[in-house]
Amino acid sequence: MNYQVIDTPQFARELVIYEVATPNFTTTGGPESGTFASLAEKMPYLQDLGVNAIWLSGHQLCNGTHFYNIWNEYACIRPDVLDPRLGSEEDFRAMVDCAHRHSIRVLLDVITHGVMRDSPLVTEHPSWFKEGTWGMADFDWFGGHQDLDDWWVQTWSRYVQQYGIDGFRLDVATYRNDLWAAVRKRAADAGHPIVILAENGPAVRGVVDMLQKGETIVESFGEAPSLGLLDNVAQYCRDWQRGITETYTASIYYQDGTVQEQPELRLVREPDRKELIPCPSGAAYETHKAVFRIENARLDKPVRNVVVRNNQNRVWNSNLDGILTVDYRIETCVSQNTLYLQIPLRVQDGQMMSVQLSCHDNGWEGFPPEENPYAARGRRHIMGYSVLLAPAVPILMSGEEFDAGYRPLPHLSARLYEKENLGSGRWLYGSWIDWEQLNHPDKRAMLEDTKRLLAIRRKFSHLISPCLMGESQARCIPLPSSQPRLPVPYLYLSQDSGEGLLVLANPSQTESAALQIDFHTALAPGCSYTATPLFGMEPFCKELDAQALSKEVWRLLPDCRPGGGVGVIHLLKK
């Protein structure tokens, strides 16, 4: 058989992904009144905003109180049935068609680990399930159930073939790369290639195109580790491409109860461990693994588990008993008195970089009750410099674009399984969008600035595109400035045409910024460039050479005000 790896579709490189919690996005009938039909009515708004993909976290039949006492996508009852509270099959198809007419692709949320215990599927197919997590019944993915495998592939392929769905976001874990490779192949064979966004990954070629929690600005409980994106986008992305933004530690848990800590793992980079895995469907996927060695392990003692952790909050285990994210498996072997660990890389060669500004999990139980779980909160320098103009696929939660105020649903509880203290909590999925807020001048100004930034990304998509893991060429260049305390400016530059796009940031919410930028190492000497500001500066048009550009003083308004926080300048070689 000629096995085929279905690579990332070309359209994925221009995605701007916007998460929509269907019942809470449009609430003209009160909280939790959103439907497929009312979502369709907002497609002109989304197109005007500049997003071109919605991650729909609300479509399938789900329980109405299991998590945080509200209806949500993650308490799934049947993934193969649409929830009638959101509309009919005809409403769903009409919504998808409407999205496509407005150049917006639709990605469905997939609850990969299981279903509610009272799901008819548990009664109809008890052999498919095992003991569960999150108060649910988990699929027995590795129990050899061919009928479960066939049903899973058919279920998600049907959404593509019957409704025109453009891809999926995989909650928790992928579990079965072979099944998702088969779904991708069916879609490609039907002339409708799809994109797959996995919550945690790994991002395996032929299965997953990018990670939802790739690089994150804010996570469930607050600021995320990837803060290099806040102060030096170009260098962070360059390091990411080379795989050096992630650091690793290990813990060896022995059967006798002792633990050996390894604070810094040595990565064996050569040779790369890549393997092409053929699937019965005729599809294939490629795994890319890293190898570590631990030379001082106690090889005379039985090992219960080896745990590897990285600075991106990802955990690998050698013992997967009770572990939900089984994709992060450690393989161990001993050679010449050395313990070797082989792990699947979180982001593997050829996969795209993504940066998540916010998602529904912001504000998880334990988040400060007085804080807004959105990430940007009106800060243009984060929205523009770190996310929308960065060389990565942007992912943001609905409402972030206009600095929406947090509005908890009346029945939202503060704790995951609690049915008391209703109308509280900070889980972002449990906030409903109050579109009346757009009548406030500050909210309207934030929306207009977000639209302008997304319009720049769209217009200059020939310059701005996501980094690929393992590629040698940098997508943008860091430029030194006269203000080292400010985020480092970065420049997209086409060597062929000489066209460039410069991005600056000023995080201060009270003070303007004035800085000079050294262009000598980036621009051709002796050539003149026309400099035109696109955002964050007073209009001008100047023709300057690299030396004159380096002497120019660029002034940025403070953040959190219209047109402030971020500057964008177009350079065109004369």
Which contiguous run of DSSP H or E holds residue 163? helix 146-163
Quick one: how far is CA 10 from the chain centroid?
A: 18
User: Residue 501 CA to chain centroid, in angstroms?
Assistant: 24
Per the model's pLDDT, the better-predicted residue between 322 and 381 turns out to be 381
State pLDDT tens for residues 49-83: 999 999 999 999 999 999 999 999 999 999 999 99
Distance of alpha carbon 34 from alpha carbon 552, whole angstroms: 51
Domain containing residue 336: CATH number: 2.30.110
Burial of residue 419 (CB within 10 Å: 0-12, 13-18, 19+) is exposed
Do 267 and 159 share a structural domain? no
Asked whether residue 415 is assigned to any structural domain, the reply reads: yes
pLDDT-derived band of residue 269, with 50, 70 and 90 as boundaries?
low
Residue 468, in any domain of the structure: no
User: Rounded to whole angstroms, what are the CA distances from 566 to 67, 110, 534?
Assistant: 38, 36, 10
Say whether 153 sits in a helix, a strand or coil.
Answer: helix
Residue type, 168: F
Angle between helices 177-189 and 146-163 (to 10 degrees): 30
> Does the structure show a pLDDT above 80 at 108?
yes
Residue 438's SS3 state is helix
Containing structural domain, residue 87: 9-240+351-459
pLDDT tens digits for range 323-358: 877 899 999 999 888 999 999 999 999 999 999 999
142 touches 82 (CB < 8 A): no
**Alpha-carbon dihedral sign for residues 443, 448, 453, 457:** positive
Instruction: Name residues whose C-beta falls within 8 Å of residue 202's C-beta, 6 or more positions apart in sequence.
Output: 174, 208, 327, 328, 344, 345, 346, 347, 348
DSSP 63: -
Percent of the chain with pLDDT over 90: 84
Give domain status of residue 4, yes or no: no
The whole-number average pLDDT for the span 138-165 is 97
Answer yes or no: do 181 and 64 share one domain.
Answer: yes
> What pTM value is reported for the model?
0.96
**Are 235 and 262 found together in one domain?**
no
What mean pLDDT comes out for the span 360-365?
A: 93
**Structurally, how many domains does the chain consist of?**
3
Q: Is 369 within 8 Å of 427 (Cβ atoms)?
A: no
Within this chain, do residues 424 and 488 fall inside the same structural domain, yes or no?
no
Q: How far apart are the first and last CA of the chain?
A: 54
Residues 298 and 359 placed together within one structural domain of the fold: no
Task: Please tell me whether residues 385 and 254 are part of one structural domain.
Answer: no
Does residue 62 belong to any structural domain of this protein? yes
Predicted local confidence at residue 225, as pLDDT? 59
* Token representation of residue 573: 């070689």
pLDDT digits (tens, 9 = 90+) for 239-264: 999 988 888 999 999 999 999 999 98
CA–CA distance, 127 with 348 (Å, rounded to integer): 34
**226, pLDDT greater than 70:** no
Predicted pLDDT of residue 270: 57
Q: What is the pLDDT of residues 363-404, one digit of tens each?
A: 999 888 888 999 999 999 999 999 999 999 999 999 999 999
Same domain, 59 and 149: yes
Mean pLDDT of 397-425: 94
* pLDDT at position 224: 66
Q: Are residues 257 and 402 in the same domain?
A: no
Residue 267 has a pLDDT of 66
Give the integer Cα–Cα distance in Å for 124 and 114.
14
Would residue 564 count as lying in a domain? yes
Res. 268 pLDDT band, cuts 50 70 90: low
Cα gap 393→366, rounded to integer Å: 29
- Per-residue pLDDT reduced to its tens digit, 504-524: 999 999 999 999 999 998 998
Residue 130, C-beta contacts closer than 8 angstroms, at least 6 positions apart: 137, 138, 139, 140, 143
For residue 532, being part of any structural domain is answered with yes
Which CATH number goes with the domain that contains 81?
3.20.20.80
**Same-domain pairing of 230 and 117:** yes
Question: Taking the mean position of all CA atoms in its chain, how far away is CA 341?
Answer: 28
Given a contact cutoff of 8 angstroms between Cβ atoms, the answer to whether 114 and 132 are in contact is: yes
- For residues 67 and 509, give the distance between their C-alpha atoms in angstroms, rounded to a whole number: 37
CA distance 235 to 231: 9
Instruction: Identify the domain boundary among 311, 344, 377.
Output: 344
- In the prediction, which pLDDT does 261 show? 95
- On whether residue 124 sits in a domain, the answer given is yes
Are 186 and 277 in a shared domain?
Answer: no
Bridge partners (DSSP) listed for residue 545: 528
61: CB partners within 8 A, 6+ apart: 76, 77, 78, 79, 81, 82, 83, 84
Listed residues 344, 367, 396: the one ending a domain: 344
Does residue 1 form part of some domain?
no
Mean pLDDT within 151-164:
98
Task: Indicate whether 202 and 57 sit together in one domain.
Answer: yes
Are 236 and 256 in a shared domain? no
Residue found under tokens 């066939």: 150
The domain boundary, picked from 287, 314, 344, lies at 344
Q: Which two tokens stand for residue 239?
A: 């390091």
